[in-house]
Amino acid sequence: MKFPNELKYTESDEWVRVEADSATLGVTDFAQDQLSDVVYFEVVVQVGDKLSKGDAVGILESVKAAADLYSPVSGEVTEINDALPDNPELVNSDPYGMAWMLRIQMSDPAELEQMMDAGAYQQNTEERSG
């Protein structure tokens, strides 16, 4: 299982890659492993939407379960990965690359301080896995 050091993580298994004041969002390797084969992805926001931390932004469905996705930061949606709804299996094969979900222009970068680093997130997943 991969836990890239340059990312920030949420307890609900989203990751954020920060570049200046832009945040790219996706779901973690742990999340895709727990879900198993992802068969459906839907974004429930649009470019230009203003988000608050914790707002629902999408839905992932697998052969085992469905999971809501939440924004870990506040800001404006600047880009959506339009390839993902047609290729939801990318979440399984490349969760930290091709399976990014959306980009947000952050309005409060200090929210990142409430997220976990790779080591803390890895420990969190180990505790949940038993």
This prediction's pTM? 0.93
Whether 130 has a pLDDT exceeding 80, the answer reads: no
Question: pLDDT tens, 41-100?
Answer: 999 999 999 999 999 999 999 998 899 999 999 999 999 999 999 999 999 999 999 999
SS3 58: strand
Interval 112-117 mean pLDDT: 96
- Per-residue model confidence as pLDDT tens digits over 12-36: 999 999 999 999 999 999 999 999 9
Cβ within 8 Å of residue 123, ≥6 positions away:
none
Return the CATH fold of 9-106: OB fold (Dihydrolipoamide Acetyltransferase, E2P) (2.40.50)
Cα–chain center distance at 76: 16
The identity of residue 129, as a single letter, is: S
